[in-house]
Amino acid sequence: QPVHLQEYQPPAYQVSHTELTFDLDPAATRVSARLDMTRHPEAASDAPLFLHGEYLTLHSLALDGTVLDEGDYRLVEGGLEIARVPERFVLESVVEIAPCENTALEGLYQSSGMYCTQCEAEGFRRITYYPDRPDVMATFKVTVIGDKAKSPVLLANGNPVERGELDGGRHFVTWEDPHPKPSYLFALVAGELYKVEDGFTTQSGRDVTLQIWVEEENLDKTAHAMASLKRAMRWDEETYGREYDLDLFMIVAVNDFNMGAMENKGLNIFNSAAVLTHPHTATDQAFQRVESIVAHEYFHNWSGNRVTCRDWFQLSLKEGFTVFRDQCFSADVNSAPVKRIEDVAFFRTAQFAEDAGPTAHPVRPDHYIEITNFYTLTIYEKGAEVVRMLCNLIGAEAFRRGSDLYFERFDGQAVTIEDFVACMAEVSGADLTQFMRWYAQAGTPEIDAYGEYDYVHGEYRLTLRQRTPATPGQPFKKPLHIPVRLGLVGTKSGQDLRLTLAGESLGTDGVIHLREEEQTFVFTEVAEAPVPSLLRDFSAPVKLHFPYSREELAFLLTHDSDGFNRWDAGQRLAMLALDDLIAAHRNGVEKVMDSRVVEAFRLLLTTPMEDKAVLAEMLTLPSEAYIAEQQPLVDVDAIHAAREFVRQSLALALRDEFLALYEDNQSQEAYAPTPEQIGQRSVKNVALAYLMAIDDDQGLAYCQAQFDANHNMTDVRQALTLLVHSEHNHLAAPALKAFGEKWAHDPLVMDQWFTIQVTRPQSDALERVEHLMQHPAFSLKNPNKVRALIGAFAQNRINFHRLDGKGYALLADVVIELNRLNPDVAARMLTPLTRWQRFDDARQALMRQALERIKAEPLSANVYEVIEKALA
C-alpha cells in the first residue's frame, strides 16, 4: 500500500531515551529494550501507541513495570498496537531475532561471521519494537554482550562507558550516544576486528580519536580512507564551519552491504569496496570513490544526523545536500574540471535515463510503496544539482549564511525541504517560489535554443524555449526557473565578449534566468558574430539543444574559456558524427569517418594541455549508454558498430600520436593517488585503449608489458581489460588465469576479475556469466558479487540485449532468486529491464516477457513496486 506525503501526521508518542541490551547469538539474539515515552502535546489522550516491528519473536512486554498479557496489546500488520497508554510511561520489551538467517541485509545480520547492522531507512523495526520513523529522536544507551572469542570487539554509537567480563566466556561493552537520533542512525558491530587508529584536533580544540575497523588481512588497506577522513573533517570546518561533536569516530568495513556506506552516528559502516584500497588491489577510480564516500558519510554528521529528515519523502534534504557537499570537496582536493565532467557524464547517462523511464519520480516523491526503492540517482544526484543551482542562484557567500542558519535553527530536529530552502530565501532575499518546482516535477527539462546575430545593430538575440516531458502521474508540467550560465565567444577574437542585457552588464561569463516557457534575450553591443557557449559548467540539469554546426563545435572545442563546455563541445561534435554512422549502419551504407572529428582529435593530441585528466576525458568518446540516451529508439547494434568504427578510425589516423602520448606518460614513480599521477595514468591508458582498438603490434606489446610490469592495479586492470576485450585470446587467457589465481584470496579484486570478463564485447559474454556464476568466489548472497557479475553484464549492451532474449532471461532468473534473498538488491538489478520502451519491437516483447515471468512470482514489496511501474 502506498504511503503519501500529504498524509503526514506527527507521531503520537515520542521516545526521549532508549536503552537496549543485545545478547548476541547467530540464530537467537535476544534484544531487550527500555523506552522512555511521552505523548505528543497535540495528540489525543486516547491515541493508541503503535510500534513498528517485523521478523521479531516477542518474548515479553511490560508497561511501567507491569507485564502485559496478550489481551493488552495487538500484533498487527507491520507492528504492535497498545490501545491505551498513559501520558508518560516506560515500555520494556524482549524479542528474539536470527541474524544468521538475515539475507536481506537490513536490521542486524551477519557478514563473514561478523555482526553488523543497516537500519536506514526502515531496518530498525527488524531489531526491536519501536516507532521506527525519523521524526522520533532519542538518546541511546546500548549494551552489547557477546562471545569473547568470536566477538572480541563490541561496538555501538557514541562513547564506550563501561565494559566487563561475564560467565560462560562472554563479555560486554556499554555505549552511550548523547546526541538524540532517529532509529535509522542506530548501529552495532561485533566480531573479530582489527583497528587502525589516528587522531584529529578540531578547530575548537577537541581531540577526536579516529578508528577504522577491518578484518586482519585488510589492515594494510586503510591508509587512504583515514587520510580522506581527516581531509574531509578539515574541509567541513573550513567550508561550512562544521565541527565533529564526539570524542570518537569509527568506520567499519563489511563485505556484505547493499549500498556504499551508512552514516550511523559515530559508527559509519562501509561496504568494504567503499573503504579499502591498496595500490596493488584498487584502481585510481576506486581510490577517488573511497575518498568521496568517506567524505559523504562524514558530512552527514551535520547534513543528516544533527539535522535530519521529518519523513522519508524528504530524503533528498540530506542526500542531495550531502552529495553536493561531497562533490565540492572532491573538486577542491582534486582536479575540479575533471570532477565536474565525470559527474555530469554519469548524470546525463544514468539519471536522464531514470527520469525518462517508468520509475521516474520527483526529487521529492509524493508517494511510495517501498522507500528503499527511492535511494535513486534522482534523489541523490538530481537533488545535488538542485542544491548546486540554489547555491549558484544566491551566490556562495549567501549560501554559506543560509546553511549556517539552517544548522543553527534546526539542530536536533527532523525537518523538511521547505525548511532548508526557506533559510536560503531568508538570507538572500531571493524569491524561490518557482524554484521549488524542481523538487515537485519529475522528468528532464529540455531547452530548445536558437540565436541570431544582427550585424547592423550589433545585437545577439538568443531564444530559449523550455518543456518538460510527461512522466508517470504527471502529464503536464509548469515552466521551471532555469539558470543558464553562458558566454558569447567572438568568432574573430576567439574571446568571451562582454554581455550586456537590457542595459545591464553581466561580465563575460553570466547567468540568464529562464522562467517562462519561451523567452528571448537580446544582448546589445556585441561587436562581432559570436558562437554561444551555453549551460556552462552544466548550470542546470537539463538537455539543451542548439543547432551548432560542426565548425562551430570545433571552434568551441579550442576556444571556449569554460573547460566543461570545451569538453562538451567535443562530445557534441562526436555525437553528430556518430549519428551519421548509426544511420549509415542501419541503412547498410558504407561508413565514412568525419575528417573534422579526426582533425579535432589531432589538435587535442598535439596541443600541450596542463590537466592531463581533462585531456583523457576529451579523448574519450560518449559511452554507448549515453549515445543510446540521445536516440529516439535505441539501436543497440548500430550504436556499438558506429562507436567502434569511430574508435578504430581515430586510432588508425592518429596511431603515431597515440603511441607518443602513451610513451610520454610512462612513469616509474612510486604509486600515489595524486591528481597529477591519476591524470597521467588516465591519458596513458586512454591512448593504450585506442592502440588496442586496431591490430597494432607495438600497442599489443605495450599492453602485455604493462600487465607484466604489475606496477599498480590501475595499469594492470586496464591492460588485462584490453587484452580480454580484444581478439588476442592467446594472450588474454593466460593473463586472466594468472590474475584469478593470484587474487583468489581477495574478494574485491575478484569482483574486478568477474567484471572484466563479462563486459567483453565478444559474443560469448553470456556463456561466461553462466560459467562464472558457478565459480567458488561467486555468491548471490553478496551484493558486490551480484553487481560485479550480473550488474556489469547488464551494462554490456550488445550482449545483454541479444536478440535471442537469453540476456533478459538470465537477469530474470537472478531477480527471481534475489527477490527471496535480498529484495533491495533484487529491485535494483531489475532496472535495465524496466527500460523496455526504448527498444525495437522484438526486444520490447522479450523484455516484457521477462518482466511478466518475474511478476508471476510471490513478490517482495520492493520488486512488486518496480514491476508494477514497469508494466503499467
Instruction: Point out the residues that are catalytic.
Output: 297
Please list every residue from 260 through 279 that binds ligand ARG, using CB under 6 A: 260-263
Question: Would you say 124 or 743 has its CB closer to ligand ARG?
Answer: 124
Please list every residue from 655 through 714 that binds ligand ARG, using CB under 6 A: none
Contact 254, 116 (CB under 8 A): yes
Q: Where are the beta strands (DSSP E) in 301-354?
A: 308-309
Shortest separation between residue 119's beta carbon and ligand ARG, angstroms: 9
- Supply the Cα-derived Rg of the chain in whole angstroms: 28
Residue 532 backbone phi and psi in degrees, to 5: -75, 140
Shortest separation between residue 325's beta carbon and ligand ARG, angstroms: 12
Q: What's 74's DSSP letter? A: E
Closest listed residue to residue 658, CA positions, set 695, 614, 610, 692: 692
Quick one: what does residue 375 bind among Zn ion, ligand ARG, none, with the CB cut-off 5 to 8 Å set by partner type? Answer: ligand ARG
Question: Would you say 118 or 218 has its CB closer to ligand ARG?
Answer: 118
Question: Would you say 184 or 836 has its CB closer to ligand ARG?
Answer: 184
> How far, in Å, CA of 591 to CA of 593, rounded?
7
Closest listed residue to residue 294, CA positions, set 216, 195, 224: 224
Question: Would you say 312 or 753 has its CB closer to Zn ion?
Answer: 312
List for the chain the helix, strand, coil content (%; round to 5): 45, 20, 30
Quick one: what does residue 260 bind among Zn ion, ligand ARG, none, with the CB cut-off 5 to 8 Å set by partner type? Answer: ligand ARG
Please list every residue from 79 through 118 that binds ligand ARG, using CB under 6 A: 118
Terminal C-alpha separation, the chain: 16
Shortest separation between residue 123's beta carbon and ligand ARG, angstroms: 7
Quick one: what does residue 335 bind among Zn ion, ligand ARG, none, with the CB cut-off 5 to 8 Å set by partner type? Answer: none
Q: How many other CB atoms are found less than 10 A from the CB of residue 517?
A: 11
Site map 785..824 versus ligand ARG, x via CB under 6 A: ---------------------------------------x
H/E stretch holding 485: strand 482-490
> How far, in Å, CA of 651 to CA of 135, rounded?
58
Residue 12 is placed in which grid cell?
503520537
Question: Would you say 263 or 560 has its CB closer to ligand ARG?
Answer: 263
Residues 6+ apart with CB under 8 A from 440: 362, 364, 366
> How far, in Å, CA of 9 to CA of 363, rounded?
21
Near ligand ARG by CB under 6 A, which window of 62-70, 255-263, 511-519, 524-532?
A: 255-263
Query: In degrees, to the nearest 5, what angle opens at C-alpha 758 toward C-alphas 752 and 760?
Result: 105
Shortest separation between residue 240's beta carbon and Zn ion, angstroms: 16
Closest listed residue to residue 720, CA positions, set 746, 759, 747, 748: 759
Shortest separation between residue 288's beta carbon and ligand ARG, angstroms: 16
- Cell 549492451 appears where? 797
Contact 678, 288 (CB under 8 A): yes
Residue 206 backbone phi and psi in degrees, to 5: -80, 130
Please list every residue from 358 through 377 that binds ligand ARG, using CB under 6 A: 372, 375
Question: Would you say 638 or 786 has its CB closer to ligand ARG?
Answer: 786
Shortest separation between residue 371's beta carbon and ligand ARG, angstroms: 8
236 exposure class (CB count in 10 Å sphere: 0-12, 13-18, 19+)? buried
Under the criterion CB under 6 A, does residue 319 sit at the interface with ligand ARG? Answer: yes
> How far, in Å, CA of 22 to CA of 24, rounded?
6
Under the criterion CB under 6 A, does residue 554 sit at the interface with ligand ARG? Answer: no
Q: What's 5's DSSP letter? A: G
Shortest separation between residue 105's beta carbon and ligand ARG, angstroms: 8
Quick one: what does residue 376 bind among Zn ion, ligand ARG, none, with the CB cut-off 5 to 8 Å set by partner type? Answer: none
Question: Would you say 375 or 450 has its CB closer to ligand ARG?
Answer: 375
Shortest separation between residue 823's beta carbon and Zn ion, angstroms: 21
> How far, in Å, CA of 863 to CA of 826, rounded?
7
Quick one: what does residue 143 bind among ligand ARG, Zn ion, none, with the CB cut-off 5 to 8 Å set by partner type? Answer: none
Question: Would you say 394 or 415 has its CB closer to Zn ion?
Answer: 415
Helix (H, G, I), strand (E, B) or coil at 342: helix
Site map 280..319 versus Zn ion, x via CB under 5 A: ---------------------------------------x
Question: Would you say 252 or 556 has its CB closer to ligand ARG?
Answer: 252
Contact 363, 439 (CB under 8 A): yes
Shortest separation between residue 296's beta carbon and Zn ion, angstroms: 6
**How many chain residues touch Zn ion (CB under 5 A)?**
2
Closest listed residue to residue 76, CA positions, set 149, 110, 123, 125: 125
Q: What's 443's DSSP letter? A: S
Please list every residue from 315 through 344 that binds Zn ion, using CB under 5 A: 319, 322
Shortest separation between residue 229's beta carbon and Zn ion, angstroms: 16
Reported for 588-591, long-range contacts at CB under 8 A and 24+ positions apart, including other chains, are 591/641, 591/642, 591/645
Q: How many helices (H) and strands (E) does the chain have?
A: 31, 33
Shortest separation between residue 300's beta carbon and Zn ion, angstroms: 6
Question: Would you say 151 or 308 has its CB closer to ligand ARG?
Answer: 308
Under the criterion CB under 6 A, does residue 825 sit at the interface with ligand ARG? Answer: no
Quick one: what does residue 755 bind among ligand ARG, Zn ion, none, with the CB cut-off 5 to 8 Å set by partner type? Answer: none
Residue 159 is placed in which grid cell?
562513547
- Cell 516477457 appears where? 849
Question: Would you say 121 or 427 has its CB closer to ligand ARG?
Answer: 121
Please list every residue from 276 through 305 that binds ligand ARG, using CB under 6 A: 296-297
Quick one: what does residue 410 bind among Zn ion, ligand ARG, none, with the CB cut-off 5 to 8 Å set by partner type? Answer: none
Near ligand ARG by CB under 6 A, which window of 229-237, 256-264, 534-542, 651-659?
A: 256-264
Site map 209..248 versus Zn ion, x via CB under 5 A: ----------------------------------------
Near ligand ARG by CB under 6 A, which window of 259-267, 345-353, 478-486, 586-594?
A: 259-267
Q: Distances in Å between the alpha carbon of 775 and those of 604, 764, 785, 798? A: 44, 17, 11, 24
Where along the sequence are the contacts to Zn ion (CB under 5 A)? Answer: 319, 322
Where along the sequence are the contacts to ligand ARG (CB under 6 A)? Answer: 118, 120-121, 258-263, 296-297, 319, 372, 375, 824
